[in-house]
Amino acid sequence: MENYWNKEIECMSREDMKKLQDERLVAQVKHVWDNVPYYRKKMEEKGVTPDDIKSTDDLYKLPFLSKADLRDAYPYGLLAKPLSECVRIQSTSGTTGRRVVAFYTQHDIDLWEDCCARAITAAGGTKDDVCQVCYGYGLFTGGPGLNGGSHKVGCLTLPMSSGNTERQIQFMMDLKSTILCCTPSYAAYIGEALKEMGYKPEDNCLKAGIFGAEPWTEEMRREIEKSLGIKAYDIYGLTETSGPGVAFECSEQTGMHINEDNFIAEIIDPDTGEVLPEGSKGELVFTSITKEAFPLLRYRTRDICVLSRKKCSCGRTLIKMAKPMGRSDDMLIIRGVNVFPSQIETVLIAQGYPPNYQIEIDRVKNTDTFDIYVEMTDEMLSDTVKDIQTKEAELVGAIKTILGINPKVHLVSPKTIARSEGKAVRVIDKRKLV
Amino acid sequence: MNIRQLSVFIENKTGKLSAVLGLLGENKIDIRAMNIADTRDFGILRLIVNDTDKAAEVLKAGGYASTSSNVIALDVDDTPGGLAGALSVLDGNGISVEYMYASLSSAGSSAHIIIRVDDNEKASAALSAKGYKLLSDEDIRNI
């Protein structure tokens, strides 16, 4: 028996949903045109006015927004409501120059939490559940989003935030958590820790997990399901559009339903920007049609995936997106954190190292490893090990400050990092995720 | 009096040390004293050679990271307690030793000790005042 948080919306006929999207899009374009000079200018440059947008069929006429626009317009350039109407900001995993700050009115928070409530309900959550949220709380959207959704559903919410695994397990056991929300790699880690402590999968009360914020595979899903004795559900979102809950998985576990009443999804050719027909692989683009404070139109996510309207056994009619199968830019997601190689380069240069480095990522026992190889120079060399290790520790600390995750730094001899066509290969991602 | 020491960065992998020593040998660099400080990932090869400038050029051309720094080379009697006496002079003057290494002289009656301290000038003065013989770059070349 499938549970819905908002059956009317989640199972709405395609005709009714399109009508709803048409109305909301037309109003949203006008709202943005009137309140966001940055986007209005982009529309004017393309020769488009709100009058040209009569329905979702006209969506393709609107200009795209990209991460570069968010950077250019930082911090208030895409704000569509007075700050006095806003009640919250959230931000992406702290990045110099690429930071995204998203604003929310109370209405926006309500819609976002509603999306998360749908995800929790689809995972079988009800007011009788104990929902343990171990996504980070704070600027990161994971914790606040699922926390809000859990409150809406009426679960007893355990706002654990991330880390301190021993305490997570103690609360999980003592308070009989039934739903676990975290990154898939952390779920796998908890599973291992439980095993090491001598617990069997049936010893905990968990029945479901809602895992997202980083790429993971079907194999990893099976492993987590086995080690925790649960059903593991995927969830998708990004700070730019609100946070987790843009799309969520149902009992069929074959892709995530997009909350189409709030977000219109398109798949485009990342090179030409041309909209591709349903079922094509391309870059995912979202248009927020209900957000007030930070309403991004045609935002390019850089995630490569496929959309499908194939009938779902759960009864939902919301379009489904497959797990993203890669990125159209150089962004990496390591342990749930967005990492651009250029950020690491900036730190290296600031610390006096040459920009000759290589990032190597792998997944060992379901946890991402993050190694940075840096070429030694005459200038950075010292005759004492202590000096070199002090500088190395400072480098690790500076990267941790920027990214929030600890790399393992390896100093290597000059000119030993592989170069192809004269250009160094910056990233070696050994994770097998697709 | 100071002498110049070269420090070379070497990855902690099989064959790396032999490669750098081979390169120096091919270029007729004579090693007077050497020492390696090692860590899990890398080592620092410290060298006292007959021609420091040439060795630095050879290493640079060979793609090695290297740096030169000043250390003290001390001649001590090759007898029990010979080095202990010199170190007590440093200790008495509040000078701390970062690291040191030794090589026997060909004459056999004395030993050369390479010492890296926190204050070269103060250490040189203190040791000279107590009658210890410090070697110069010139002395090293002529060994």
Answer whether A384 sits within 8 Å of B99, measured CB to CB: yes
Does the CB of A376 have a partner CB in chain B at under 8 Å?
yes
Answer whether A412 sits within 8 Å of B11, measured CB to CB: yes
Q: DSSP letter string over A155-168?
A: PEEEE--S--HHHH
Give B89's pLDDT tier (boundaries 50, 70, 90): very high
Answer whether A413 sits within 8 Å of B63, measured CB to CB: yes
Domain match, B28 and B87 both: no
Averaged pLDDT for residues B75-97: 90
Domain match, B117 and B131 both: yes
pLDDT at A57: 97
Domain match, B89 and B135 both: yes
Averaged pLDDT for residues B107-112: 77
pLDDT at B107: 65
| Dihedral sign of CA atoms A49, A53, A58, A60 in order | positive
Domains identified in chain B, total number: 2
- Per-residue pLDDT for B18 more than 60? yes
**Bridge-partner residues for B69, per DSSP?**
B5
Answer whether A385 sits within 8 Å of B39, measured CB to CB: yes
- From the list A282, A241, A281, the residue with the least C-alpha distance to A258 is A241
Size of interface A-B (CB pairs under 8 A): 59
Domain match, B8 and B65 both: yes
Domain match, B78 and B119 both: yes
Residue spans of the domains in chain A: they are 7-329, 333-429
Domain match, B129 and B81 both: yes
Residue A82, min C-alpha distance to chain B (Å): 54
Residue A260, min C-alpha distance to chain B (Å): 52
Q: DSSP letter string over A330-357?
A: S-EEETTEEE-HHHHHHHHHHTT--S-E
Determine the structural domain holding residue B133 and report its residue range.
Answer: 71-142
Answer whether B10 sits within 8 Å of A413, measured CB to CB: yes
Which residue type, as a one-letter code, is found at position A330? Answer: D
At the topology level, CATH places domain A7-329 in Rossmann fold (3.40.50)
Domain match, B82 and B135 both: yes
Tell me how crowded residue A282 is: count the other CB atoms within 10 A of its CB: 22
**ipTM of the complex in this document:** 0.86
The fourth-level CATH superfamily of domain A333-429 is ANL, C-terminal domain (3.30.300.30)
Structural tokens at position B43: 């080592």
Q: What is the H or E stretch that residue A238 is in?
A: strand A231-238
Interface probe for A, chosen from B20, B67, B68, B101 (most Cβ of A below 10 Å), is B67
Q: What is the H or E stretch that residue A44 is in?
A: helix A37-45
Residue B139, min C-alpha distance to chain A (Å): 22
pLDDT at A98: 61
Cβ-Cβ contacts under 8 Å, B46 against chain A: 383
Structural tokens at position B118: 């926190």
Q: Are strands A179-182 and A130-133 parallel, antiparallel or unpaired?
A: parallel
pLDDT tens-digit readout, A336-382: 888 888 788 888 888 888 777 899 999 988 889 999 999 898 989 99
Domain boundary among B21, B50, B69: B69
Look up the pTM and report it: 0.70
pLDDT at B106: 66
pLDDT at A345: 80
Domain match, B116 and B103 both: yes
Domain match, B57 and B22 both: yes
Length of chain B: 143
Domain boundary among B69, B93, B111: B69
Q: DSSP letter string over A89-136?
A: EEE-S--TTT--EEEEEHHHHHHHHHHHHHHHHHTT--TT-EEEE-SP
The CATH number assigned to the domain holding B55 equals 3.30.2130.10
Rounded distance, CA A342 to CA A206, Å? 40
- Search chain B and give the residue with CA nearest A389: B39
Residue A192, min C-alpha distance to chain B (Å): 28
Residue A418, min C-alpha distance to chain B (Å): 14
Residue B136, min C-alpha distance to chain A (Å): 19
pLDDT at A296: 97
B109 phi/psi in degrees, rounded to 5: -90, -15
State the residue for tokens 């935030």: A161
**Residues of chain A under the 70 pLDDT cut:** 93-98, 419-424, 433-434
Cβ-Cβ contacts under 8 Å, A356 against chain B: none
Domain match, B56 and B92 both: no
Cβ-Cβ contacts under 8 Å, B65 against chain A: 375-378, 380-381, 413-414
The CATH number assigned to the domain holding B125 equals 3.30.70.260
B-contacting residues of A 384-413, CB under 8 Å? 384-386, 388-389, 410-413
Cβ-Cβ contacts under 8 Å, A383 against chain B: 5, 7, 44, 46, 67, 69, 71, 116
B64 → closest Cβ in A379, A386, A414 = A414
Answer whether A385 sits within 8 Å of B64, measured CB to CB: no
